[in-house]
Chain A
Amino acid sequence: MAEFLQFLVSGITIGSIYALVGLGFAMIYNASNVINFAQGEFVTIGGMATVSLMAGTGLPLILAAPVAIMIAALVGLALEKFAVEPARNADVITLIIITIGASIFIRGGIEVLLGKDFHRLPAFSGDTPIMVGGAAIQPQSLWVIGALVLVVVALRWFFDRTRLGKAVLATSHNRLAAQLVGINVRTILLISFGLSAAVGALAGIMTAPITLTRYDVGVMLGLKGFSAAILGGLGSSFGAVAGGLALGVAEAMAAGYVSSAYKDVVAFIIILGVLFFRPTGFFGGKGVERV
């Protein structure tokens, strides 16, 4: 039982990271129908910028982290403004390839500015595990899970209670109709990219003490975040969170009970299985094709 609990905790921890990255995918997809392959790079920027700010300028974590999130958000805005916006009339696949180009560009930029080494961020509140029912919980796990809860609550509030949030939702449901009632769709697109980058960077900062960080950590995390968003059903924020947690727990259980070498295989087989029975994920809407 203690063993199961241990796997569950580590699954929820890593799942929370996937969920945060997945949320970023869902936000940009909602606003633009684009799968942003540079999403993982926002995660990298979060971790790497925090580490560099702390080492280079001696800023404490509490200041370095918000600055890093702001840097990532600016990169997200720049991505929309200078790469996605000029090609707004292109096919979705062209836009996706542009984001692939952007991901190579950002990785290259981090490589030039900060080098290729692994960096470690110290855990936010020590490494003394908390014992619960025989399972050892790292304090950093609580930070990660807390970050997810905070982001979900904040997004809920943003989408339900603010005019801007409602405008974003309206745009994702029907772009033309949103435009007709006077919503500036371009601004919405910018906001979505900025917000999505900020959430991705937060995930990168939270996970850096657990997984280390390097210019290319975003590739794998981006992939898992995309998987989470798809598993939950594209475009559903709630789905991305559920998908991320499910993916994380499945991976941890597979690593614990089956084989740690093949944990990702188990995870992807589960995803394929789910898609086989539910072709649009847990909470994805039924797509209607227009002739």
Chain B
Amino acid sequence: MRLLTPRMGGLLALAVVIAVLPAFFPNKFYYDIAIKTGINAIVCIGLNLLIGYAGQISLGHAGFYALGAYGSAVLTARLGWPGPVAMVVGAAAVGLLAFVVARPILRLRGHYLAMATLGLGIIVAIVINREIPLTGGPDGMTVPALAFGDWRVTGTQTWYWVIGGAVLLAVWLALNIVDSGVGRALRAVHGSEVAAETVGVDTTRYKVLVFVISAVFASLAGSLFVHAERFVTPVEADFLRSLEFVTMVVLGGMASTFGAVVGATILTVLPQALAGFQDYEHLALGAILMGIMIFLPKGLVPSLAAQWRRRR
């Protein structure tokens, strides 16, 4: 775990951005968007490890995210568990689930893998929608505040700093994973699975590992989300939410942790900014998305970084 490397410089820059940003927020609404951005960023940082580094696609991460969200919601609201315990138990359960399904699922390749993860995500979404006594069904459910001992985490500003800290932690973890032996093994798997196996990389083990890590990231983000919002609906488990996460990762730039953060930021802020166009919101969003991917096919961060290097 090295602290001062060029990558860590990026982490420092991100910390500065998070620290100064509130100075430009005119009202609470901006904090709210920033919190949602941070939560999406945490999911994308984990998902990018899977998609960008290991080259495995998942169209079902909203399922893991929603399991974390509803795990926290049900355990705290219905069973009266303390928030942090529910969060950790939820993440552990999601990690275990991911571990169990990973082996049969990760045997699949490409679009078949996409289908399998999509199926899992949809099953989660349907169960959450139908188990009304437990989850409140489509109407959603309210969630108690998160409390560490006597400290109750409430208020948008407090949550801004909590989520900001969580994003930094997630980035730091991801950067270390990428720089470790695991990261190198993952890149080998991405390059060519057969070649990686030939030189002795246990590809299955690493794929399973990164699948579990990304699922746990999503679960923790889901838990944070329900406590920050104090409310959750099954929309969070929707298939379109899974698509949104993947889109954020690819838009920001695959195999770039900061790209995942940028992608999450753009796709969270943009719909809010376009809301003023009312009926034309989706038309504009689709056009912008297509435009970015056509002109910067490697995603924002890697494409712009390459251009900047060429200029120098």
Query: A-side interface residues toward B, CB under 8 Å?
Result: 29, 35, 37, 83, 86-87, 89-91, 93-94, 97-98, 100-109, 111-112, 219, 223, 226-227, 230, 234, 261-262, 264-265, 268-269, 271-272, 275-276, 279-281, 284, 287, 289, 291
Contact = CB atoms under 8 A, between A and B. Distances in A.
Q: Give chain B's interface secondary structure class.
A: helix
Which of B107, B119, B299 has the most chain A CB atoms closer than 10 A to its own CB? B119
A37 B243 CA distance: 10
Contact of B111 (A230, A268, A276): A230
B161 to A, nearest CB: 33
Contact of A279 (B51, B107, B254): B107
B293 A101 contact: yes
A2 to B, nearest CB: 29
A97 B130 contact: no
Given A93-B57, A94-B250, A234-B112, 10 more contacts: A94-B297, A98-B289, A101-B290, A105-B289, A111-B279, A230-B111, A234-B111, A262-B126, A291-B195, A291-B198
B115 interface: yes
16 contacts: A87-B294, A89-B297, A91-B297, A94-B297, A100-B243, A105-B282, A105-B289, A105-B290, A108-B282, A108-B283, A108-B284, A219-B240, A223-B239, A265-B123, A265-B126, A275-B116
Interface in B119-142: 119-120, 122-123, 126-127, 130
A42 to B, nearest CB: 15
Given A35-B111, A291-B194, A262 B130 contact: yes
Nearest to B254: A93
A94 B57 CA distance: 12
A269 B120 CA distance: 8
A264 B122 contact: yes
Given A97-B293, A268-B122, A112 B112 contact: no
A227 B240 CA distance: 16
A205 B104 CA distance: 38
B112 A97 contact: no
Contacts of B107: 279
B229 interface: no
B280 interface: yes
Contact of B112 (A29, A87, A262, A281): A281
A173 B297 CA distance: 26
Nearest to A222: B239
Contacts of A104: 282, 285-286, 289
A226 B294 contact: no
Contacts of B112: 230, 234, 275, 279-281, 284
Interface string B228-244: 00000000000110010
A106 B240 contact: no
